[in-house]
Structure 1
Amino acid sequence: MGRQYSELSDKHQAFIGEQKIFFVGTAVDSGQVNVSPKGGDSLRVIDPTTIAWMNLTGSGNESASHVIQNPRMTLMFCAFEGPPVILRAYGTARVLHRADAEWERLSSLFPPSPAARQIFVLDINLVQSSCGMSVPYYDYKADREDLDKWSQRQGPDGIEKYWVTRNQRSIDGFETEIIERAGLDKDPG
Structure 2
Amino acid sequence: MGRLYPVLTRELREFVEAAPLFFTGTAPLSADGRVNVSPKGGTDTLAVLDDSTVAYLDLIGSGSETIAHLRENGRITLMFCSFTRRPKILRLYGRGRIVLPDTAEWAGLIGHFGHHPIPRSVVVVALERIADSCGFTVPVMELVNERDLQDKWGERKSPQELEEYMRLKNSLSIDGLPARDHQPVAARGQG
Q: Could you say which TM-score interval applies, normalised by the shorter chain?
A: over 0.9
Q: Within 5 Å, which residues of 2 pair with 1:1-189?
A: 1-30=1-30, 31-40=33-42, 41-179=44-182, 182=183
Secondary structure in structure 1 of the residue aligned to 2:176: coil
- Any idea what SS the aligned residue of 1:132 has? coil
Q: Please say if residues 171 and 180 of structure 2, whose CA atoms lie closer than 8 Å, have aligned partners that are also in contact.
A: yes
Select between 154-163 and 35-44 the one with higher mean Cα deviation.
154-163
Deviations along 1:75-131, one digit per CA (max 9) or x if unpaired, are 010000121000111111101111222111111221232210011000001100110
Q: 1:157 to 1:110 in 2, by over 3 A?
A: farther
Distance (Å, rounded) in 1 between the aligned partners of 2:155 and 2:143: 25
- Superposition RMSD on alpha carbons, in Å? 1.3
* Contact 1:170–1:176 (CA under 8 A) maintained in structure 2: yes
Give the SS at the match of 1:83.
Answer: coil
Decide whether the 8 Å contact of 2:163 with 2:184 is kept in 1.
Answer: no
Q: Does the aligned pair in 1 maintain the 2:159–2:184 contact within 8 Å?
A: no
Give, as a single letter, the amino acid of the residue that structure 1 aligns with 2:35.
Answer: V
Letter matched to residue 39 of structure 2: P
Q: Distance in 1 between matches of 2:159 and 2:110?
A: 16
Structure 1 position 183, deviation (Å): 5.5
Give the counterpart letter for 1:78 in structure 2: C
Question: Counterpart of 1:154 in 2: which secondary structure?
Answer: coil
Task: Tell me, yes or no, if the aligned pair for 2:170 and 2:180 is still in contact at 8 Å.
Answer: no
> Quick one: distance in 2 between partners of 1:16 and 1:57?
23
Is contact 1:85–1:129 with CA below 8 Å preserved after alignment? yes
List structure 1 segments (4+ residues) > 6 angstroms apart after TM superposition: none
* Offset, 1:157: 2.7
Structure-2 residue corresponding to 1:187: none
Percent identity of the aligned residues? 41
Contact 1:114–1:156 at 8 Å: present in 2 too? no
Write the deviation string for residues 149-181 of structure 1: whole angstroms up to 9, x where unpaired: 1100013332222111211111111101231xx
Count of residues paired in the alignment? 182
Distance 2:62 2:137 in 1: 31
Q: Distance in 2 between matches of 1:178 and 1:83?
A: 43
Residue matched to 2:189: none
CA contact (8 A) 2:95 2:126 kept: yes
SS, match of residue 91 in structure 1: strand
